[in-house]
Structure 1
Amino acid sequence: KRKYGTLDALNAAWYRRFERWEQVEPPRASTILSYTDYLDWRTFIDDKLAGDLRTRVEAVRSADHTHPITSHAAVPALFTSPTDGYGEPDDWKMAAAADFFGTSLYPKHSESTRPWPYPQIAAGLDFTRSSGNSFRKGFWVGELQAGQGVTGMRIADPVVSRDVEFWMWKVLSHGAREIAVYAWYPMNAGFESNGYGLINLDGTLTDRSRGAGNVARIISRHGPELLTAEPAPAQVAILFNRLSAMVGGAQPSLSKLGNAMRDSLLGLHRAFFEQQIPVDFVHPEDVIHHRLARYKILFLPFPVMLSREVAEGVTRYVEDGGTAIAEARLAWNDERGFATDAIPGFGLSQVFGAREKLIRPVEKAQILIEPSAGLPELESSERVAGEAFEEELEPATNGRVLARFENGEPAIVEKSYGKGKAIFVGSFLALAYQRQHDASTARLLLALARAQGVSPEVEVSGPGTSEVELRRLVGNRVEFLFAFNHAGTTADATISVRLPWPVEDARNLADDGAVPFGVTGGKATFRKNLAAGETWVVRLQGR
């Protein structure tokens, strides 16, 4: 009723002949015809979940005007789908409803097929952080796994002290404002018996509980500064667009790609994560309401279903000087599930300087970079791996071809538009990188970003450092530098940090010991021999 107002409008949208509102029910079966009703139903579920949370927040607030009111998801929405079961929450809508929204984090849950690899943990935390960031709110972890995952006889890998310590530091490095380690005492009944506790069932302490306590004491000593510090700002934005998960409606057999939306988001995040370049996920509402000005580049992965309002927001972003990079079948369907007149739809073919000529399914797309492309640190004629389709493009007269498929047809087209630039890629690069992990795909994604001035502010080099992750929290003339060695071997690391001020003092957060540093090329540099699995946190004070 709120969306359409009248039965006549609803009947026109759904192709129905309802005579009264009581006849309107959720769709029960897939159809070869219009599935606007299905899209509306799934959107209603999102709105209902957020609305229920808002009602609870308002009820609590009516009696308590002092304390923050929070909620958290079972898992970041990055890893779910709006088509799952009775529906999954949209983290952005939920974050809007509460003072703080967050997530559970169980990297070794018994329901997982394997322990979460560290890039997945990073992506999930960045995603949850981004949902609050859109409303200038922090986030929290409402349940951080404390002990071994157990569900009946499904028993996960043991959780050791180093796991809990790493997870606590990792969550903090992403800007979490609170961490609830769950739980102190293990479950003592039900199908989770003996699982998920920080201590033993007989009440004796474990190495995990001692390790968690030590990290908590260090964090508490620096609490005021940590609470006012923010994650290093991102120059790269990745659009999280749930509509793309629903192309075709309720029939999952219509796609052979699996959860392509999730894997595309993970692939893009991973390409920049591996180069120490922070990214933000952004929501369609961020695009519609002009909240993208701080980003140099906007990626639209797997953008096969797009609303008109988002398309108009992308156009404005480019007109105002941003660079948008979109993958194959951009805005193929609109928010009603109807095909647009051309691909890209909603006039985006004029923005991106090309339109789809034909599309063919392939196991692995092959893209050849043009010698004239001029993309930084990318060799001319380099072969790049795509995924699922080759979409041959028909460039406009002012569209510049950056790459071609093996048959010579245009595969990537660039166009200047307004004060900015738009680049259209006729395959799914992000999906390819997540599933194939072909280095050529990452090189292309990074080259497109570097061409717009994106570069890392922290770097690490030296023997054994390929799995060293760096993160920063930025405050007022103070920064916290986190170094995580994810490898099973020692890393002899040289770390450089570009800062807006000269460093006066550097201290190890664990013991407040002085950390030697140098200055090279305007960057502060540090040497550290990181043990396997070690976490090192340094506080940098500016002059």
Structure 2
Amino acid sequence: MKDFLNESTIQLGVCYYPEHWPEEMWEEDFRRIKDMGFLYVRMAEFAWSIFEPIEGTFEFDLFDRAIQLAKKYDLKVIIGTPTATPPAWLTDKYPEVLNVSREGVRYNHGSRRHYNYNSEIYRTFSKRIVLEMVEHYKSNSTVVGWQIDNEINCEMNVFYSNADHDSFRQWVKNKYQTLEGLNDAWGTVFWNQTYTDWKQIYLTRPTVTHSYNPHQLLDEKRFISDSAISFVQMQANIIRSITDKQWVTTNGMFGHLDNHRMTKEVLDFYAYDSYPNFNKVIEDKSMMPLHDRKWSMNLSTVRSFGGNFAIFEQQAGPGGWVNRLEQPTPRPGQLRLWTYQSIAHGADLVLYFRWRTATKGSEIYWHGINDYHNLPNRRITELKQTSEEIHKIGNTIFHSEYISDAAILTDYPNEWDGEEDNWYGHFIKESKEAWFKAFQYHHIPVDFVNITQEMSLETLAKYRILVYPHPAILTETTAHLLTRYVEQGGTIIFGARTGYKDLTGQTYMKAFPGYIKDLVGVTVEEYTLLNGWQENPDVNLLNKQFKTTGFNEVLQPEVENVEVMGTYLNAHYEGKPALTKRSVSTGTAYYYGSVFNYQTASILLEDMEATNYQHLFILTPDIELAVRKKDGVSIYLLLNYSYQSQHIQLKAEMENLLDNQTCSGSITLTGYDVLVLKEK
């Protein structure tokens, strides 16, 4: 079986930058890379000045020699187009290619990602360098694929150059056709913002109140996403016009970018950069923190873009720039654990970042597999073991399907509108993470699904449970789809602030929760933002008492078969409904008038039928369970995220694919260890 990579088994590789190292080191490096069992080498994404040292002069000798050495050791090469970092000669001569802040301050050359997508000059130079590179390597059998740019919208995901303002003006003109249509969509009648000429239209600019038109801001994010996708599409078109023998992807997952659309319309597959040990994850002080398991949530999101994917940067050591500490040194076993974490969630190719830690530049602390001294270390030994295991089991798991009958729904309009709207936006993140924790710690595999106006019922019907935490923007089309989902037997859960906005971000003149009122069978009698001026009320859910946070909606049942499952306490709305449940045909719709946390999500899971595999396993909370299926055979990956041993029970005989031994009954999984099991 082959897939988008033209492989039949999971492969590993590494990022290697020949321009950073003396040429006399290259061959020994490639020999050792091969000895690690790696097949892929990724290079060149920041090497524009190597390929085009002066304007219009192209040189390929350095990378030709490096790629020839890679061929000698039967390695496959992925080349990055170098457009993430324009060279100094370009930005010096054509400063209009640089990005600009909202305040109109031009960012200078230096650092990275300092360009804008809409500069025609930059697009012209980008087209030319990509064309030259692809023409040069189109027939090189060692070069198997192209990474476009690097981490689209990383570091900076807003753009305000003159070219961006001009392009945005044309974008809204194409979208709305008339000024009347634009003024209506943006609600410009408020505060006398009405536009009377297209030349008056700009991206958001500084205002007296620092408050920007929310509907304009939502369109601004849509425009930024479209601009980024257009830039990627431009490069993909060039590559595909020259060769059909090399695949096309890009890497990342950053803001203001519709990765689902980009993957579907532009890429052969998606690539992600996985660093599970970021400090912001480690320092999580919430109840039942995810820590490095947060990356399972990220990887699940990546899987939603288009199925199986690649990892182009897998953490290989401690990390950080000279001016920011990001990641401590992974403990023994964690690099292996994180590799399996990526594979468990759908990675068919994993490349470690990087082969050797850089000795120069901003990332001298962003460690690779090898330290500066190039001497043996613990990380090398651990990843050599991991590589040997993957070679053994890779064909069994390769291109398998992640199995889940539960999903968390997401969408870009609410994500982008919620960035500015403090009356619901940050609740989305809180509740999404709370639900993911609940699924994780109850050993229920879960997907993320991006809901669109074009989505079919077939896409949702495979799931028994859907969670849509706070979709303030919810159209009649989506409400109809979700109603049909419930009617055919599904269970759906909504949270506060659902259904009161349209796609422009304007509010409906309808009783909350808008178009799903008839599905859930309730309206919102009263609501309040909980911001410290009043004590947060408690809520009694299924005879368990919890503190509410963020927002409260007092619910009013509108039909007879609405069951009140929870009520508020110690508030002027004490005793009134906070959680309701309604049967609709063969399905069920829940509505919770607050923000979810781990406790409330867990309580609701107990009231629903979710596949938790308790017939096969008794697992501790520190174990993640991922289930993959290929050719009708289920594979179970058990990942221990604790440094302590975990004692688990297997209720059926299974084959441990890592040692080909049969196991059942009591099993001890040591700290950060992994089991890959197949039912006998």
Instruction: Tell me the equivalent position of 1:383.
Output: 545
SS of the equivalent of 2:460 reads: coil
Q: Contact 2:322 / 2:365 at 8 angstroms: preserved in 1? A: no
Please point out which of 318, 326, 329 is paired with 1:148: 318
- Partners of 2:479 and 2:520 in 1: CA distance: 12
- Partners of 2:339 and 2:394 in 1: CA distance: 14
Q: Which runs of 5+ in 2 are unaligned?
A: 1-172, 285-289
- Partners of 2:409 and 2:338 in 1: CA distance: 26
Instruction: Tell me the equivalent position of 1:222.
Output: 393
Identity %: 24
Deviations 1:444-473 (A, max 9, x none): 2212432xx5443665437xx341222222
Please point out which of 125, 135, 148 is paired with 2:299: 125
Please point out which of 650, 656, 661 is paired with 1:508: 656
Runs of 4+ in 1 over 6 A off after TM superposition: 30-33, 110-113
- Partners of 2:415 and 2:371 in 1: CA distance: 43
Instruction: Tell me the equivalent position of 1:26.
Output: 203
Letter in structure 2 aligned against 1:449: M
Deviations 1:463-496 (A, max 9, x none): xx34122222211243332222222322222124
Greater Cα shift, 416-425 or 391-400:
416-425
Following superposition, the deviation at residue 358 of structure 1 comes to: 0.4
Deviations 1:342-372 (A, max 9, x none): 3434432111100000013445442224xxx
Letter in structure 2 aligned against 1:102: A
Please point out which of 324, 349, 352 is paired with 1:181: 352
Q: Contact 2:442 / 2:621 at 8 angstroms: preserved in 1? A: no
Following superposition, the deviation at residue 47 of structure 1 comes to: 2.3
Following superposition, the deviation at residue 18 of structure 1 comes to: 4.1
- Partners of 2:528 and 2:567 in 1: CA distance: 14
Deviations 1:162-214 (A, max 9, x none): 22111111111112111111101111211211532101223223221222122
In our comparison, the structure showing a higher alpha carbon Rg is 2
Q: Contact 2:281 / 2:291 at 8 angstroms: preserved in 1? A: no
SS of the equivalent of 2:293 reads: helix
Deviations 1:307-337 (A, max 9, x none): 4433333233233332221111211222222
Q: Report matched runs for 1:181-330 at 5 Å.
A: 181-231=352-402, 233-246=403-416, 250=420, 254=422, 259-285=426-452, 288-290=455-457, 291-330=459-498
- Partners of 1:123 and 1:327 in 2: CA distance: 20
In structure 2, relative to structure 1, the CA distance for the partners of 1:249 and 1:477 (3 Å cut) is: closer
Deviations 1:78-128 (A, max 9, x none): xxxxxxxxx532332232231111321112347867497133122111111
- Partners of 1:483 and 1:343 in 2: CA distance: 46
SS of the equivalent of 2:497 reads: coil
Deviations 1:376-428 (A, max 9, x none): xxxx5332443222211111133232222121111122233355332211111
Q: Contact 2:250 / 2:270 at 8 angstroms: preserved in 1? A: yes
Instruction: Tell me the equivalent position of 1:428.
Output: 595
SS of the equivalent of 1:92 reads: helix
- Partners of 2:454 and 2:663 in 1: CA distance: 44
Following superposition, the deviation at residue 227 of structure 1 comes to: 1.4
Deviations 1:49-84 (A, max 9, x none): 2232233222212222133322121xx45xxxxxxx
Structure 1 position 66 matched with structure 2 position 234: no
Deviations 1:211-231 (A, max 9, x none): 212212221233332213222
In structure 2, relative to structure 1, the CA distance for the partners of 1:108 and 1:491 (3 Å cut) is: closer
Letter in structure 1 aligned against 2:668: N
- Partners of 1:200 and 1:185 in 2: CA distance: 6
Please point out which of 100, 106, 109 is paired with 2:269: 100
- Partners of 1:391 and 1:318 in 2: CA distance: 23
Structure 1 position 53 matched with structure 2 position 232: yes
In structure 2, relative to structure 1, the CA distance for the partners of 1:44 and 1:307 (3 Å cut) is: farther
Structure 1 position 487 matched with structure 2 position 646: no
Q: Contact 1:108 / 1:114 at 8 angstroms: preserved in 2? A: no
- Partners of 1:393 and 1:403 in 2: CA distance: 10
Structure 1 position 456 matched with structure 2 position 613: yes
Q: Contact 1:248 / 1:337 at 8 angstroms: preserved in 2? A: no
RMSD: 2.8
Q: Contact 1:110 / 1:151 at 8 angstroms: preserved in 2? A: no
SS of the equivalent of 1:414 reads: strand
Q: Contact 1:35 / 1:249 at 8 angstroms: preserved in 2? A: no
Letter in structure 1 aligned against 2:273: S
Instruction: Tell me the equivalent position of 1:403.
Output: 566
Q: Contact 1:129 / 1:174 at 8 angstroms: preserved in 2? A: yes
Greater Cα shift, 339-348 or 173-182:
339-348
Letter in structure 2 aligned against 1:532: G
- Partners of 1:166 and 1:33 in 2: CA distance: 45
Q: Contact 1:35 / 1:248 at 8 angstroms: preserved in 2? A: no
Q: Contact 1:359 / 1:390 at 8 angstroms: preserved in 2? A: yes
- Partners of 2:256 and 2:515 in 1: CA distance: 32
Following superposition, the deviation at residue 238 of structure 1 comes to: 0.9
Deviations 1:30-62 (A, max 9, x none): 777853211111111122222322332222122
In structure 2, relative to structure 1, the CA distance for the partners of 1:414 and 1:168 (3 Å cut) is: same
Following superposition, the deviation at residue 278 of structure 1 comes to: 0.9
Instruction: Tell me the equivalent position of 2:584.
Output: 417
In structure 2, relative to structure 1, the CA distance for the partners of 1:458 and 1:386 (3 Å cut) is: farther
SS of the equivalent of 2:174 reads: coil
Letter in structure 2 aligned against 1:167: W
The alignment of Structure 1 onto Structure 2 pairs a total of residues equal to 484
Instruction: Tell me the equivalent position of 2:602.
Output: 443
SS of the equivalent of 1:228 reads: coil
Letter in structure 2 aligned against 1:104: D
Deviations 1:513-534 (A, max 9, x none): x2234xxxxxxxx431112222
Q: Contact 1:173 / 1:473 at 8 angstroms: preserved in 2? A: yes
Q: Contact 1:130 / 1:281 at 8 angstroms: preserved in 2? A: yes
Letter in structure 2 aligned against 1:124: N
SS of the equivalent of 2:407 reads: strand
Please point out which of 540, 543, 561 is paired with 1:368: 540
